[in-house]
């Protein structure tokens, strides 16, 4: 099973063309760069907020900008994205408003998940972006099921299902890929292979290349350099178009590296060598792409700094707005399960409000029924 349109790498570490020129429109080339920069800027700010104790938890996207932007840019609006652990930056590109992103980080009254999700677990219904699950691999079977439902309804939407290398040992991965191939659904599986599942290196997890696992289930599978936004974009586009036209799933392994820990609760210096981190820093996806765009004349001198300053200003404004927003209303704790809040939940809620009032944490209206 081969596909001539897929190049494992298009840009070398300096950003020089080393594969077939995808001949993309200059406007698109620039847009991809701005989206990658937005991911980096949001990441920087969220990490600072977490370290300052202002938000609870962050899964950093540093180093993964090309993998997420290159792949998600290949999708159409009608397609779906099933997130693994850190594709929030791609969701911003596909329509998740920055205000909702940051509100979810604060779990405040603008959080569309109503504070019921862990911080940094995003969702956006309008851009076909179901809520993340930290339970590894569960989104894989959900994505396959949704793709089967779409196929039965005669829709040709494609479901991009993201997961980390660690998820390839989950039940969801094996049952999901198996059924996707048997039912021939329009799924493109994107394995973000950053070499580590928290502290477990790939060689301790599996003796087989990740790409072979797709082939084992009978689907087309490729690996590309996930730090190369052009190779990632082109490969994903080719597999998405094929999935749409032929109703065939595929696996694409994006070889990359997470520059920081698994999350803000992790200290990667305890399990991996600095030499490895330095090696990957030299392959930084943004530096490399900026080199290519500069050579093409798409990015002028000082423009990267201007783009960065503008993005940071936009993010800082939104942080100020969301920090000032009210917390989520306490009554949301007992809403949305039953049409009417049942008596036993009302009793518990009333007891809870009493405690909240005693601690000065209840706000006007928190205790009012009907909820
Ligand atoms: C079903 C399940 N088992 C275990 C965990 C604990 N856990 C959280 S992340 C993770 C590893 C995930 O690896 P990968 O997807 O490669 O993520 P990365 O460390 O690269 O961010 C594990 C085992 C979990 N969340 N869910
Ligand atoms: Mg990983």
User: Residue 3 falls within a domain, yes or no?
Assistant: no
Query: Per-residue pLDDT tens for 87-124?
Result: 999 999 999 999 999 999 999 999 999 989 999 999 99
User: For position 369, what pLDDT does the model report?
Assistant: 53
Query: Which residue among 62, 140, 162, 166 is best mutated to probe the pocket of ligand 1, counting the most ligand atoms within 8 A of its Cβ?
Result: 166
- The minimum-distance atom of ligand 1 relative to the CA of 85 is 21
CA distance 283 to 96: 29
Domain with 249, as residue range(s), is 26-324
Tell me the DSSP string of 250-306. EEEEEE---SS-SSTT--GGGTS-HHHHHHHHTT-HHHHHHHHHHHHTSS-TTHHHH
Q: Are 215 and 132 within one domain? A: yes
Is the model's pTM score more than 0.75? yes
Query: Which residue among 197, 201, 258 is best mutated to probe the pocket of ligand 1, counting the most ligand atoms within 8 A of its Cβ?
Result: 197
Q: Is 194 in the pocket of ligand 1 (CB under 6 A)?
A: yes
CA distance 28 to 159: 22
Taking 90 as the threshold, does the pLDDT of residue 138 lie above it? Answer: yes
User: Residue 7 falls within a domain, yes or no?
Assistant: no
Asked if 71 contacts 32 with a C-beta cutoff of 8 angstroms, the reply is no
Q: Tell me the mean pLDDT in the region 124-151.
A: 97
Confidence of residue 363 (pLDDT cuts 50, 70, 90): confident
Of all protein residues, whose CA lies closest to atom 3 belonging to ligand 1?
Answer: 136
User: For position 282, what pLDDT does the model report?
Assistant: 96
User: For position 368, what pLDDT does the model report?
Assistant: 60
Q: Are 288 and 144 within one domain? A: yes
Instruction: Sort 91 into a burial class: Cβ within 10 Å, 0-12 / 13-18 / 19+.
Output: buried
- The minimum-distance atom of ligand 1 relative to the CA of 163 is 15
Confidence of residue 360 (pLDDT cuts 50, 70, 90): confident
Q: How far is CA 100 from the centre of its chain?
A: 15
Q: Tell me the mean pLDDT in the region 139-144.
A: 98
Is the bond preceding 292 in cis, omega lying within 30 degrees of 0?
no
Taking 70 as the threshold, does the pLDDT of residue 349 lie above it? Answer: yes
Q: How far is CA 237 from the centre of its chain?
A: 17
Query: Which residue among 141, 164, 256 is best mutated to probe the pocket of ligand 1, counting the most ligand atoms within 8 A of its Cβ?
Result: 164
Q: What is the DSSP letter of 108?
A: B
Instruction: Sort 53 into a burial class: Cβ within 10 Å, 0-12 / 13-18 / 19+.
Output: exposed
User: Residue 352 falls within a domain, yes or no?
Assistant: yes
Of the residues 309, 324, 339, which one is the last residue of a structural domain? 324
Of the residues 287, 307, 324, which one is the last residue of a structural domain? 324
Q: Tell me the mean pLDDT in the region 134-160.
A: 98
User: For position 80, what pLDDT does the model report?
Assistant: 98
Q: How far is CA 306 from CA 40, 286, 300, 309, 310, in A?
A: 14, 15, 10, 5, 6
User: For position 316, what pLDDT does the model report?
Assistant: 98
Query: Per-residue pLDDT tens for 178-199?
Result: 999 999 999 999 999 999 999 9
Q: Is 85 in the pocket of ligand 1 (CB under 6 A)?
A: yes
Q: Tell me the mean pLDDT in the region 120-145.
A: 97
CA distance 6 to 162: 19
Tokens of 279: 């090696």
Q: Are 201 and 290 within one domain? A: yes
Query: Per-residue pLDDT tens for 289-312?
Result: 999 999 999 999 999 999 999 999
Q: Are 239 and 352 within one domain? A: no
Q: Are 369 and 230 within one domain? A: no
Taking 70 as the threshold, does the pLDDT of residue 2 lie above it? Answer: no
Share of the chain above pLDDT 90, in %: 90
Q: Is 167 in the pocket of ligand 1 (CB under 6 A)?
A: yes
Q: Are 314 and 350 within one domain? A: no
CA distance from start to end of the chain: 58
Number of folded domains in the chain? 2
Q: Tell me the mean pLDDT in the region 213-221.
A: 98
Task: Report the separation in Å between the CA atom of 355 and the middle of ligand 1, taken as the mean of its atom positions.
Answer: 36
Query: Per-residue pLDDT tens for 40-82?
Result: 999 999 999 999 999 999 999 999 999 999 999 999 999 999 9
Tell me the DSSP string of 6-62. --S-SB-TTS-B-S------HHHHHHHHHHHHHHHHHHHHHHHHHHTTSSS-----T
Q: Are 264 and 346 within one domain? A: no
Task: Report the separation in Å between the CA atom of 111 and the middle of ligand 2, taken as the mean of its atom positions.
Answer: 28
Task: Report the separation in Å between the CA atom of 195 and the middle of ligand 1, taken as the mean of its atom positions.
Answer: 12
């Amino acid at each position: 099973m081969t596909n001539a349109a897929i190049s494992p790498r298009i840009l070398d570490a300096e950003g020089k063309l080393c594969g077939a020129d995808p001949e993309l429109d200059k406007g698109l080339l620039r847009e991809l760069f701005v989206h990658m920069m937005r991911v980096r800027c949001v990441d920087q700010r969220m990490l600072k907020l977490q370290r300052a104790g202002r938000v609870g938890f962050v899964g950093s996207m540093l180093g993964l900008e090309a993998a997420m932007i290159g792949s998600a840019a290949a999708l159409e609006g009608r397609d779906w994205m099933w997130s693994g652990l850190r594709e929030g930056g791609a969701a911003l590109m596909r329509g998740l408003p920055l205000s909702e992103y940051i509100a979810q980080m604060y779990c405040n009254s603008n959080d569309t998940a109503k504070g019921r999700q862990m911080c940094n677990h995003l969702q956006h219904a309008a851009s076909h972006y179901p809520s993340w699950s930290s339970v590894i691999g569960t989104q894989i079977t959900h994505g396959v099921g949704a793709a089967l439902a779409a196929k039965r309804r005669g829709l040709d939407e494609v479901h991009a299902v993201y997961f980390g290398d660690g998820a390839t040992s989950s039940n969801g991965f094996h049952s999901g890929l198996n059924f996707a191939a048997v039912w021939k659904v329009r799924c493109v599986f994107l394995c973000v292979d950053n070499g580590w599942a928290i502290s477990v290196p790939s060689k301790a997890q599996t003796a087989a290349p990740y790409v072979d696992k797709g082939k084992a289930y009978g689907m087309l599978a490729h690996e590309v350099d996930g730090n190369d936004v052009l190779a990632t974009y082109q490969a994903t586009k080719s597999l998405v178009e094929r999935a749409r036209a032929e109703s065939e799933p595929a696996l694409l392994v994006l070889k990359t590296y997470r520059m920081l820990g698994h999350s803000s609760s992790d200290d990667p210096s305890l399990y991996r060598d600095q030499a490895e981190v330095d090696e990957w820093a030299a392959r930084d996806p943004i530096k490399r792409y900026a080199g290519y765009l500069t050579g093409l004349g798409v990015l002028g001198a000082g423009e990267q700094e201007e783009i960065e300053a503008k993005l940071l200003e936009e993010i800082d404004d939104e942080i100020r707005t969301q920090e000032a927003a009210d917390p989520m209303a306490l009554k949301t704790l007992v809403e949305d399960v039953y049409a009417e809040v049942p008596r036993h939940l009302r009793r518990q809620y009333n007891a809870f409000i009493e405690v909240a009032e005693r601690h000065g944490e209840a706000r006007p209206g928190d205790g009012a029924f009907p909820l």
